[in-house]
Amino acid sequence: MMKNKIVTVFGGNGFLGRSVVQRLAQQGARVRVAVRDTDKANRLRVSGDVGQVVPLQVCLRDQQAVESVCHGAHSVINLTGRLYEKRQATFNAVHVEGAHNIAKACVKHKVQHFVHISALGADPKSRSKYAKTKALGEKKVQKAFPNVTILRPSLMFGAGDRFFGRFADLATLLPFFTLFKGGRTKFQPVYVGDVAQAVLYALQDKKTQGKIYELGGPKIYTFKDLMTLIIHYTGRQKMLIPLPSFMATLMAKVLQFMPEPLITPDQLKLLEHDNVVTQKAKGLKDLGINAAHLEAIVPTYLSCYKPHF
């Protein structure tokens, strides 16, 4: 159904983007990957035939550039997002203004389907700027393009993910793992391939238009459960040390200056609330997807961290 259709993917070179672009290319779509850095996105070209997947440089603040990559597109997907702010790349600039610019471009060029990726826990009243701006972005996008399909994934896992991959890296370096907020925050991790499949499904089914879907995996885990699983899959002996809140805040205040921070003060605020699918929400099942189990996938890419590997 996607054969020869032009699909513009903003943020297509990210973790989820790579899976989405691959699936679009397999289905014969002509993919424009709208990114800040085309060099980084060039490796995506091999997902399709010669000329089928084309990276294009776009700044989300430049409305004309955003519009030019949406011109003639059958569908548009917005996967841009960030977990921490850096100079001009603020949460507001990406989650609210950037998303709004894309929605306006979709209206101008009469795009048939617009799929916007938000995040589970998006909440206009959240103390976390990440969660708050994700909610404000949803509102802006809905107002401009009421037929938008919004997907709110929980923590995503899969080869190349940040969460399991980074903690596994740390497992090789540190003798202990720290537990923020006592390790009690709940998550419902979802497989990146299932989220990518949900995006493809949403593009092809008009019934998803104007709706919000919350995408979580089959099981709920606490942060401590997840750390325990990482320790198990990497075959490392680690202590789990609950960090008092003032120490966690101090640590986050220092670590936020890392090039890719492990934890920031804003993320600590995110951990104040469980990140699980709300009971009545539409989800993966409504999109015909049977969610994959973490236990079946995470060990496949964490086993290389085992000491004897």
Ligand X SMILES: NC(=O)c1ccc[n+]([C@@H]2O[C@H](COP(=O)([O-])OP(=O)(O)OC[C@H]3O[C@@H](n4cnc5c(N)ncnc54)[C@H](OP(=O)(O)O)[C@@H]3O)[C@@H](O)[C@H]2O)c1
Give the residues lining the site for ligand X (CB under 6 A): 11, 13-17, 35-37, 40, 60, 79-82, 89, 94, 117, 119, 153, 155-156
Nearest distance from residue 113's CB to ligand X, in Å? 17
Residue 154 near residue 276 (C-beta atoms within 8 A):
yes
Residue 13 or 178 having the CB closest to ligand X: 13
Write down the least CB distance from residue 147 to ligand X, Å: 19
The residue behind tokens 């492990």 is 262
Shortest approach of ligand X to residue 250 CB, angstroms?
25
Least distance in Å: CB of 162 to ligand X?
6
Please give the angle made by the CA atoms of 26, 13 and 69, to the nearest 5 degrees: 85
CA–CA distance from 221 to each of 216, 224, 226, 229, 302 (Å)?
11, 8, 6, 10, 18
Report the residue number, 208 or 267, with the smaller CB distance to ligand X.
267
Angle, CA of 57, 160 and 155, to the nearest 5°: 95
When the beta carbons of 36 and 269 are compared against ligand X, the nearer one is 36
Determine the residue type at 264: T
Whether the Cβ atoms of residue 130 and residue 83 lie closer than 8 Å to each other? yes
Give the shortest CB-244-to-ligand X separation in angstroms.
27
Distance CA(66)–CA(189), nearest Å, equals: 32
**Rounded Cα–Cα distance for residues 158 and 228 (Å):** 18
Reported as half-sphere exposure (CB side, CA atoms, 13 A), residue 254 has a value of: 5
| Of residues 235 and 256, the one with the C-beta less far from ligand X | 256
Of 12 and 245, CB closest to ligand X: 12
> Cβ(302)–Cβ(234) under 8 Å?
yes
CA distance 290 to 2: 22
DSSP 4: T
Q: Shortest gap between Cβ of 258 and ligand X (angstroms)?
A: 15
* Nearest residue (CB) to ligand X, 11 versus 48: 11
For residue 194, count CB atoms less than 10 angstroms from its CB and return exposed for 0-12, middle for 13-18, buried for 19 or more: buried
Select the residue whose beta carbon is closest to ligand X and give its number: 14
Residue 201 Cβ vs ligand X, minimum distance, rounded to whole Å? 16
- If the CB atoms of residues 60 and 171 are measured against ligand X, the closer one turns out to be 60
Q: What's the min distance (Å) between Cβ of 175 and ligand X?
A: 27
- Cβ closest to ligand X, residue 57 vs residue 235: 57
